[in-house]
Amino acid sequence: MAGQLCWIPTFASKGTLTLHLRLDPFQPWKPHTAFPNLCVPDYPIPRGSIGWATSQRLLQAGWEIVPTAQVKISFRDDFEDDSLAA
């Protein structure tokens, strides 16, 4: 099983990027912790990136990394789409 991974800033994180995953391109992004069967323990490095070990494991397994900028563009397009206005 191969999917996609991306480092995405979370709303309350002040710009800190967290690892997000999705199994198929049409699915929404979810934090890597929502997939406990795919996660591996993080390295014990002070101020290390949470999810880094998981990202390395998944990349070795053939997962595709999606650039953060590409995801930001799709989020912006979703919010600017007039059909989504209430």
DSSP 41-65: PPP--TTPPTTHHHHHHHHHTTPEE
User: Is residue 84 in a domain?
Assistant: no
User: Is residue 41 in a domain?
Assistant: yes
**Averages of pLDDT over each 10 residues, the chain, 86 residues:** 86 78 92 94 85 95 91 55 44
pLDDT of residue 62: 95
pLDDT of residue 43: 87
pLDDT of residue 12: 67
pLDDT of residue 78: 46
User: Is residue 62 in a domain?
Assistant: yes
User: Is residue 45 in a domain?
Assistant: yes
Domain count of the chain?
1
Q: Extract the tokens encoding 48.
A: 């290390």
User: Is residue 77 in a domain?
Assistant: no
Q: Extract the tokens encoding 70.
A: 């590409």
What is the residue range of 21's domain? 4-70
**Residue 37 identity (one-letter amino acid):** N
